């Protein structure tokens, strides 16, 4: 279930589609899944850095 306008930060990540034969093959490899996981983790970390900067900036006003 994807919620519309949730009260907390959320994200729906669609990395590839198993109905695409090339992507299905890639999903079968550990290296590709690790690359996806790393990219998602980096995105989450980036969000928290951004969020912390926004909070710090708003406190200075």
Q: What is the pLDDT along the chain (61 residues), one digit of tens a residue?
A: 777 777 888 888 999 999 999 999 999 999 999 999 999 999 999 999 999 998 887 877 6
pTM for the full predicted model = 0.76
**Which among 43, 56, 33 is positioned nearest to 12, based on CA atoms?**
43
Q: How far apart are CA 2 and CA 18, in angstroms?
A: 20
Q: How far apart are CA 34 and CA 42, in angstroms?
A: 12
**Dihedral (Cα; 27, 2, 7, 49), 10-degree rounding:** 20
């Amino acid at each position: 279930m994807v919620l519309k306008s949730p009260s907390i930060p959320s994200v729906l990540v669609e990395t590839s589609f198993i109905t695409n034969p090339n992507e299905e093959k890639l999903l079968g490899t550990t290296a590709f899944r690790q690359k996806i996981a790393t990219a998602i983790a980096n995105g989450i970390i980036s969000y928290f850095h951004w969020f912390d900067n926004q909070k710090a900036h708003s406190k200075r006003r």
